[in-house]
Structure 1
Amino acid sequence: MLSRRELLLLRAMYQHGTVTAAAHSIHMTQPAASALLKDMETRLGFALFSRENRRLHLTSQGRSLIPEVLNALSGMESVDRLASDIRQGASDRLSIGAVAVASSMLLPPALVTVRRAYPGITFTVRAGSGLEIVEMAVDHRIDLGIVIGSSAPTDRVLKEPLAAVSLFAILHPDHPQAHAKALTLAEVAALGLIALSPALPAGLATQQAFQDCGLDYRPLMEVAQSFTACELAGEQLGVAVVESLGARYAQRMGLVARHLLTMNDSALSLVSPKDRPLGGPGQCLREALRAAVQGLGVMPGS
């Protein structure tokens, strides 16, 4: 097992690239840092760094450790902050997980509501995919999560649907088809499809919808965020297909959103640990998120 000091040194080496700079950043001497790195490699049984042109570079084995090193330190630092809050009497704290588009479109007004009800509360907001958010709820790393379309293990996570989710075509207002009352998938394909990655529920639903209609799925561009797809449509580089929250973002940008179809197998939902009931702040956030969804009008055909 690696100690916190060793994890800090690995993170510093990843950030600074030299033993001298890394050691200085965590208040160690260079000889002590070098000795600690050598000891870690001996205990782990593989090299963490290779030397090239008088600089140390992470080996492939060393690079594979870095994401977990960063996650471990983030968790430790979160525990430290929580302990500090408790010492100072600020025991109200909410940890929230959300897919990116939900964290931008739903969380801000909801958190304002919670802060008004609980002025001393502190928040931790974690981003991730739907499956990652569910895993955070299973592991009690979050109190409440917002996901789109992820299946949840019902024996360990509570899942509460908030709203149905639809796919929308996003166009620049000067686009020749912007004034059309409706668009078909075939028309979208002909206009240049900007699609979300099939790794996302909306991207997978788009791909499946094309296949169900007997259309070739050949995106002009494929991106990982609804915001990016909308921005590209705003530059008139094609027609974006995004989910309901992305469509609301597009409308805020002054773009045109046209309903395409309802995602039957996906919904905007809340997830929370099944064996840890929500406290007052969590209940307040849940109600505030419900209100935020209604305020956005995230419904099929909207």
Structure 2
Amino acid sequence: MNARQLEVFRTIMQTGSVTDAAKLLNVSQPTVSKILHHMEDQLGLRLFRRIRGRLHPTPQAEMLFPDADRVFRDLGALRLLAEELRAGSGGVLRIAASSSLAAAIVPRAIASFRAANPRVKIVSHLLPGAETAEMVRSHQVDLGLCLSPQDLHTLTMRSLGQVEMICIFPRGHRLSALTHVTPPDLADETFISFNSLNHFGGLLDEAFLQYDETRRVDIQATMSIVAAVQVAQGTGVAIVDRFAMLMAPENVDWRPFRPVLSLPINLLLSETLPWSRFRNSMIEHLQKAVEKYLEN
């Protein structure tokens, strides 16, 4: 099974269609069919059966897919390593981070890192926490940052510190007269918040219950920085991690939220990724960026 066959098999498994696989791979449908048939002949296995116009994987295909997917991802990591080697002493460093960490902390760390390592190319991704962890696990990035717990299979997690959640609102709002904001203070407000299935939403549900309040979500957001932009439009108020204020518009103000909700700043590393001096250096710059913020 060669790399092209792996790619075709993986794409058909994901789409369930030769036509859709051909579109994603930017090749003709006959080309995909030919590669698939050649692969089946080489393996001596029937991988798909056509039922009502759709391809359905056989039990043998289902058993092969997890390993085929892993090998395909490893090939992708190998290509990225080759890119680093072509870059010579400069190298490439890849980072994934969630929400406000990607917008507030990572840029500061990159600026100081690049001052010391001007020839290193940086690739930065903003992703949800779960996707950040998967990028680290599959070696598509060298390290990741998130504020939520993740499945640590093949991953190592370090804490770079903690950040509190705060209440944000338009400047001049009545909440600015308070020293801190509690759930009862938000009873009559349009509340921009997270789904209860979201880690942050679950924490807020528990915090509201401490005051015998039920959290109501009028406008659902998926990221703190998105909520901050909504607040800036005067749409409502929100509870977000404090890093979001670093990127919030000037017309947004904040107060501490009670009960205190502290979020760990998680650094995610792969246990199977080879050592890299650039990665270790970036970790130091990320730690300093976090510490500088927490001093304020």
> Shorter-chain TM-score: what band?
0.7 to 0.9
Q: Which residue type is aligned with residue 289 of structure 1? A: L
Moved more, 84-93 or 194-203: 84-93
> Identity, % of aligned pairs?
21
In structure 1, the partner of 2:241 is 243
Q: Cα 1:280–1:2, aligned 2, differ >3 Å: closer, same or farther?
A: closer
Verify: 1:270 aligned to 2:267, yes or no: yes
CA shift at 1:222, angstroms?
A: 2.0
**Within 2, Cα distance between the matches of 1:77 and 1:223?**
32
Query: How far is 1:24 from its partner?
Result: 9.4
1:202-217 correspondence to structure 2 within 5 Å: 202-217=200-215
**Contact residue 114 and residue 281 of structure 1 kept, 8 A:** no
TM-score (norm 2): 0.74
Aligned to 2:46: 43
Change (3 A) 1:151 1:71: closer
Identify the match of residue 292 of structure 1 among 289, 292, 295.
289
Aligned residue number for residue 93 of structure 1: 92
Of residues 219, 223, 226, the one that matches 1:225 is 223
Cα-to-partner distance string for 1:59-89 (whole Å, 9 max, x where unaligned): 899xx9xxx9999867644532431431452
Cα distance change of structure 1 residues 118 and 233 upon mapping to structure 2, 3 Å threshold: same
> Would you say 1:4 and 2:4 are equivalent positions?
yes
Residues 59-98 of structure 1 correspond to what in structure 2 (within 5 A)? 76-90=75-89, 92-98=91-97
Quick check: 1:196–1:241 contact (8 Å CA) kept in 2?
Answer: no
| Unmatched 5+ stretches in structure 2 | none
Q: Measure the CA separation in 1 of the matches of 2:199 and 2:171.
A: 27
The alpha-carbon deviation at position 165 of structure 1 amounts to: 1.9
Partner of 2:191: 193
**What is the distance in 2 between the residues matched to 1:60 and 1:274?**
32
Residue 169 of structure 2 corresponds to which residue in structure 1?
171
CA distance in 2, matches of 1:40, 1:253: 59
By how many angstroms is 1:193 displaced?
A: 1.6
1:260-292 CA deviation, whole Å, 9 max, x = no partner?
04324x311323245768543223212221232
For 1:258 and 1:140, the matched residues in 2 are separated by 39
Extract unaligned runs of 5+ from structure 1: 52-56
* Root-mean-square deviation over aligned CA pairs: 4.3
Q: What count of residue pairs does the alignment treat as equivalent?
A: 285
